[in-house]
Structure 1
């Protein structure tokens, strides 16, 4: 594809990113973002991002389809979806951000349209609870939210369904272990089931076959080398030759290009942007000292801070996906358009 074709293709893939908050992305917007990289790699970066985003960008149509299918998944709801969901309570317990609240609004509207019922609103304990979010990354958010809820608010016996678009294996394992520990500590009978649209490998033991950015070496760049030297623990590098089980990357060459390019850019961005916290690593937010989480998942409502800084960091860097922390009004407007169109 030509440069012009790639610019348009990326815009088409991400056309509804933060719709209602931002104008639709334009070729000029993508061009301005990619022009921050060395001219010799701009076209290959565009080509690989075009491939990756077709796998990792979840539009409102994709998210709505996932939730609609979930509403009628027999393994979850049995033979009568309306009866099942009318006895289920949506949790609103997220400690930071608006992703859960916004997705709860969307899920409630879809349920009403599909089954003609609402989620349980009564006072006594419902048959089950749902914790909804767009992604499980490190697992810290979901485990903190559910640990607190289980200890202070959960009935002595209950079932929780964690439903998300993207589930990262390492974060899932970590969160489940911590949640199980809390359940044991408080002596309650709580069962947690996990449902996802896609599961992405990020566990350290499976670095070579991971679905996230895991560089194979430290590039010949002084800023990156100094950053790595300053880490308490040296990073685990990937052995080249595997694009991961979900086929997110087009090739080893394309994968390595993004890993190296975003690592160099992210280290530069950390120096350029003084308001970034220490845990905002070059390849994305990670509490543990590392190169960064490296997720490439983006949804129509936001870009997670676990993605590389090169995708979302702001002034003086120009982001491909400007982040937001408050878009509930935009979500409500988007829902109004979805259901007025009859989709």
Structure 2
């Protein structure tokens, strides 16, 4: 094993030291090496694997949210004069922290992180706040399509007190989901006399209509590979039958003009192609795959996939490329056909991403 490979494996393991801590075996260099070595089966040699590792290290260094970082961010939010005014201690006593998430546990987990912050800064518990409230606080780790926050708020908003403000706080948002949810939430909130403000740390641009900057995985056009060609043929048929005007299936050759995510166009092209190739293979495994299951991550639209790059100490979203999280070595075929970098906790609501094989 080359020294460069060892350095990258150790660096990524150090970044991911608290990923699902206490739930899974700690991610170490051997785990990461086992994951990346699988790409050799798809034509990516040691040199290509080092590029994949290098791009993953770069992304995770910038955007992985550790538990300690999450606590620091929430502490800055809960003491922010920009959010709570010049006297946050007085304002926050009239806040209500919402627990209205319809699926998943991210909101409850983030509220648990808030408890010691509220106690140490204000001497308050989550149950100590004023009634009726002047402001509401909704927490979640990331906004992807915008559907989750819209559905949560739409169901809750009739219960809100008129004249209040709803603060929606995320570690990260994606611009298309933000645009959609801002429109939907603000229109509905206006009916009930509630103002709405969105807050976030990271913003990922993901408009395929305006790809001059595109902060997710999206592959250049390619053909001649069995699983990719089969997937593209199937998704193209669905796109032809769609009533929507759809953006390009593949990333335009001259885009993005600005790239802050990847180290170079060459490295971007390689890791995106690798993830598409593996993802198309994974999509081919179920007899009847979930319609949202795409090679580069679950997506409601007929695309190569959402392509998200974001993960936290809690979990990774299924909007990220399948090559990062799909599979389980302890399950029967085909789940054991791929070893994931990020073993994922599934939100069991409707049909899960694990069934229908």
Q: CA deviation at 1:5?
A: 0.9
> What does residue 89 of structure 1 align with?
96
Call closer, same or farther: CA 1:301–1:82 in 2, change over 3 Å.
same
Kept after mapping to 2: 8 A contact 1:87/1:119? no
Question: What is the Cα deviation at residue 30 of structure 1?
Answer: 0.3
Partner of 1:34: 36
| Residue of structure 2 in register with 1:168 after alignment | 174
User: Which of residues 213, 216, 226 in structure 2 aligns to 1:209?
Assistant: 213
Cα RMSD after superposing both structures: 2.0
Query: 2: distance between equivalents of 1:303 and 1:244?
Result: 26
Deviation at 1:113, TM superposition (A): 2.1
- Alpha-carbon distance between aligned partners in 2 of 1:239 and 1:147, rounded to the nearest angstrom: 40
Is the contact between residue 48 and residue 249 of structure 1 (CA under 8 Å) also seen in structure 2?
Answer: yes
Distance 1:113 1:121, change over 3 A: closer
Aligned to 1:142: 149
Instruction: Provide Cα deviations, 1:89-142, integer angstroms capped at 9, x if missing partner.
Output: 111111111111111111222221233223455683201001100000111100
Q: Within 2, Cα distance between the matches of 1:17 and 1:135?
A: 16
Rounded to whole Å, the distance in 1 between the matches of 2:36 and 2:119 is 42
Write out aligned runs for 1:181-192 (5 A): 181-184=187-190, 187-192=191-196
Structure 1 residues 97 and 225, CA gap change in structure 2 (3 angstroms): same
2:113 counterpart of 1:106: yes
**Which residue of 219, 225, 228 corresponds with 1:224?**
228
Distance 1:75 1:190 in 2: 19
Runs of 4+ more than 3 Å apart: 119-124, 238-245, 273-276
SS at match of 2:53: helix
Of the structure 1 ranges 133-142 and 18-27, higher mean CA displacement relative to structure 2 is found in: 18-27
Q: CA deviation at 1:192?
A: 1.0
Match 1:195 to one of 193, 199, 204:
199
The 1:156/1:13 distance shift into structure 2, 3 A limit, reads same
Offset at residue 275 of structure 1 (A): 7.9
1:240 and 1:24, CA in 2 relative to 1: closer, same or farther beyond 3 A? Answer: farther
Task: Select the residue among 27, 48, 52 that pairs with 1:45.
Answer: 52
> What's the counterpart of residue 295 of structure 1?
308
Q: Residue by residue, what CA displacement relative to the aligned partner does 1:300-335 show, whole Å, maximum 9, x if unpaired?
A: 111111111111101221110011148xxxxxxxxx
Deviations 1:54-112 (Å, cap 9, x if unpaired)?
11211112111111111222111122222222211111111111111111111222221
Distance 1:70 1:31, change over 3 A: same
TM-score by length of 1: 0.88
Summarize the Cα distance change of 1:35–1:305 in structure 2 as closer, same or farther, 3 Å threshold.
Answer: same
Check conservation: 1:88, 1:119, Cα contact below 8 A. no
When the two structures are superposed, what TM-score results if normalisation uses the length of structure 2? 0.85
Q: Output the CA distance in 1 between the equivalents of 2:200 and 2:168.
A: 8
Instruction: Indicate if the aligned counterparts of 1:136 and 1:172 stay in contact, CA closer than 8 A.
Output: yes
User: C-alpha displacement at 1:241, in angstroms?
Assistant: 5.3
Which residue is 2:26 aligned to? 24
Alignment of 1:290-329 (within 5 A): 290-314=303-327, 315-316=335-336, 317-325=338-346
Does 2:263 align with 1:261?
A: no
Count of residues in correspondence between the two structures: 322
Matched residues in 1 for 2:343 and 2:257: separation?
27
Question: In structure 2, the residue corresponding to 1:265 is in which secondary structure?
Answer: helix
SS in structure 2 of the partner of residue 2 of structure 1: helix
1:204–1:236 CA contact under 8 A, matched in 2: no
State the alpha-carbon separation in 2 of the partners of residues 213 and 238 from structure 1.
Answer: 13
- In structure 2, runs of 5+ residues without a counterpart are 240-247, 328-334, 348-357
Which residue of structure 2 aligns with residue 12 of structure 1? 14
